[in-house]
Amino acid sequence: MTRVLVVDDDAELCETLELGLKKRAYDVAWVTRAGAGLERLLAEDFDVVLTDMTMPGGDGIFLCEQVAANRPDVPVVVMTAFGNLEAAVAAIRAGAYDFITKPAQLDALAIAIDRAARTRALREEVRRLKSAPRSEPVGGATGGSEAMRKVMDLVDRVADSEATILITGESGTGKEVFANLIHQRSRRARGPFVAVNCTAMPEALLESELFGHTRGAFTDAREARTGLFVQARGGTLLLDEVGDMPLTLQPKILRVLQERKVRPLGSTSEVATDVRVIAATNRDLESAVEERRFREDLYFRLNVIQVPLPPLRSRAGDVLPLAQHFLSTLARRADKPVTGIAPAAAEKLVAYSWPGNVRELQNCMERAVALARFDQIVVDDLPERVRDYRSSHVVVAGDDPSELVPLEEVERRYTMRVLESVHGNKAAAARILGVERKTLYRKLERWALEPDRRAP
C-alpha cells in the first residue's frame, strides 16, 4: 500500500484528503506544518509527500529543499492555489517531482501520487541493480519473476536427464540461450554444444549438414564431411526452429533419434551417435501436426519434456534486471563509463510491450549504450518506438466507439486480438483465453464460414 504524507496548514482539507485517498487504498498521514512534516518523514518511511505551497513557519519550497537534502528518494508533489509558471518553476527547482493546482480533484491527485510512487520504486530498483554483486547470468535467463523461477526450476530438474527436450516460445525469448544453459548444467557439459537452424539452409544442404556425406555423394562433394550428429558426440545438438524442418526430412530425423545411428549421404554403412537432442521452435507444433505439416510421431519423440519460455511482456519484473545486465556487458565491451539507467528511462522500458522479447531489449540497450552521453541511459538514448509507446487497448466495438455489436462479435474480435499477439500460436491463445484448444478450433472454423456480423 502506498504511504502518503500530506502537509497543509488547513486541517479540514487534510481530513478531506485523508478520507478521499484512503477510499482509493492509500495509507495517509497528515501534519499542518512544514517542520512537523520533515520530522515525520525522517522518523517514518513514506512513498510520496503531498504538500501545500504556502504555509506559516516554512513553505512548500522550504520543505522540498529539505526533503531533497535529507530524503532524496521520496518524491514531493506540490499543491498551490497560485497556479502560475513562476511557482511551478520554483517548486521543480527546489526538488519537487510534480506540481498540481488547487482545488485539485481527487482523481488528479491519485494519478500524480501513483506516478510519483512508481518513479520512487523504479529509482530503488535501478539503485539496487547498480549495487548488486556482478555475476554472469545467462542473458534471457536473468530475472526473478515467478514465470522465470518456474522455468529455471524445470531447467534444473531436466538438465541431467538424457530425454529429448522441446523448448517452445516466441521469437526472441532466448530458446538457444536456454538450450545452452541446459547443456552447461548437464553431465554432457564437457562435450560440445552444436546448434543448427533448420530454416537457414535448403533441404539437401541441411540433410548433408546433419548426417554428413561421403566424397562424391553429390556434385561438389570433393571430400567427405562429418555430420553434426557425429560432431556433437558426447554433447548436445540443438535443432533450432525445428517446426520449419522440411516434411521429407522429418522421418530421417525420427530414425536417428530412435536408432541412435546416422547414415551419411552416399554411404552404405551407419555411424553410431551419442548425442542429447534439444529442439526449439516458435511454431505451434500441435496445430502443425493436425494440419499435417509436421509428423505426429516426430512431435511426440521430440516433446518428451517441454520447456515453455514466457514472453517478456508477461514477466515485466525481469525487464530492468535484464536491461542492467545487457548494459553492464555492452558498456564494458564498448569501454564506455555507462553504469545505470535513469528513472525516466527505466519507466519507459517497463511500460513497453517488447514484441521482440529479450532480443529486442538487448538491441535496445546496445543502441542506448552507443548513443549515451552521460553515465546513465536517459530517455533520449532509447529507440523512438520505446520512447513514444502507449499501451493499446482492445476496441471490441469496432473503429467507431459508439458502434454496438453482439456479444459473439465481441468474443470473435478479442480472440483474433489474442491470436495476433501470440503470432498465431493457437495453443498459447487457448491458454490465455482459458478454453480447450479444440473449442478454439471450432470457434475459428465457425467464424471463418460466417460473415462479419455487425449491428446496423
- At 317, which CATH number? 1.10.8.60
Residues 18-36 have a mean pLDDT of 89
Task: Please report which helix (H) or strand (E) contains residue 298, including its range.
Answer: helix 296-302
Domain assignment present for 151: no
Dump pLDDT digits (tens) for 29-65.
Answer: 999 888 888 889 888 889 999 988 878 777 888 888 8
Contacts of residue 201, Cβ cutoff 8 Å, sequence gap at least 6? 209
Domain assignment present for 144: no
Does position 399 have pLDDT exceeding 50, yes or no? no
C-alpha pair distances (Å), 72 with each of 41, 46, 67, 97, 142: 11, 12, 6, 11, 29
Domain count, the chain: 4
Answer with the one of 387, 410, 425 that is the final residue of a domain: 387
- Find the CATH number of the domain harbouring 454: 1.10.10.60
Decide if 208 contacts 215 (C-beta within 8 A): no
Answer with the one of 278, 308, 338 that is the final residue of a domain: 308
C-alpha–C-alpha distance, residues 139 and 407, integer Å: 43
Burial class, 174, CB count within 10 angstroms (exposed 0-12 / middle 13-18 / buried 19+) = buried
66 shares a domain with 23: yes
Q: Which of 25-34, 65-74, 279-288, 447-456 has the lowest mean pLDDT?
A: 447-456
244 shares a domain with 330: no
For residue 219, what pLDDT is reported? 65
Dump pLDDT digits (tens) for 121-179.
Answer: 877 776 666 555 444 444 556 666 788 889 999 999 999 899 999 999 998 899 999 99
For residue 221, what pLDDT is reported? 67
Match 504524507 to its residue by C-alpha cell. 5
224 shares a domain with 189: yes
441 shares a domain with 362: no
Match 470457434 to its residue by C-alpha cell. 443
Does position 269 have pLDDT exceeding 80, yes or no? yes
Residues 88-96 have a mean pLDDT of 80
358 shares a domain with 249: no
Enclosing domain of residue 350: 313-387
321 shares a domain with 303: no
- Find the CATH number of the domain harbouring 21: 3.40.50.2300
112 shares a domain with 18: yes
Answer with the one of 332, 365, 387 that is the final residue of a domain: 387
Dump pLDDT digits (tens) for 348-359.
Answer: 998 888 989 999
Does position 395 have pLDDT exceeding 70, yes or no? no
DSSP state of 399: S
Q: What does the longest C-alpha to C-alpha distance in the chain come to? A: 98
Domain assignment present for 146: no
Decide if 312 contacts 361 (C-beta within 8 A): yes
For residue 100, what pLDDT is reported? 83
C-alpha–C-alpha distance, residues 240 and 194, integer Å: 10
Q: Mean pLDDT across the chain, nearest whole number?
A: 84
pLDDT-derived band at 400, boundaries 50, 70, 90: very low
pLDDT-derived band at 393, boundaries 50, 70, 90: very low
Beta strand 271-272 with 261-262: parallel, antiparallel or unpaired? antiparallel
Task: Please report which helix (H) or strand (E) contains residue 290, including its range.
Answer: helix 285-290
177 shares a domain with 210: yes
Domain assignment present for 109: yes
Residues 9-23 have a mean pLDDT of 89
In terms of Cα–Cα distance, which of 244, 242, 240, 245 is closest to 174? Answer: 240
Beta strand 225-226 with 212-213: parallel, antiparallel or unpaired? antiparallel
- Find the CATH number of the domain harbouring 219: 3.40.50.300
Domain assignment present for 149: no
454 shares a domain with 432: yes
pTM greater than the 0.75 cutoff: no
Q: Tell me the sheet residues that pair with 262.
A: 271
Decide if 67 contacts 46 (C-beta within 8 A): no
Grid coordinates of 320: 530492468
Residues 1-22 have a mean pLDDT of 89
Domain assignment present for 361: yes
9 shares a domain with 117: yes
Residues 414-434 have a mean pLDDT of 79
224 shares a domain with 302: yes
For residue 52, what pLDDT is reported? 87
199 shares a domain with 99: no
Domain assignment present for 223: yes
Domain assignment present for 217: yes
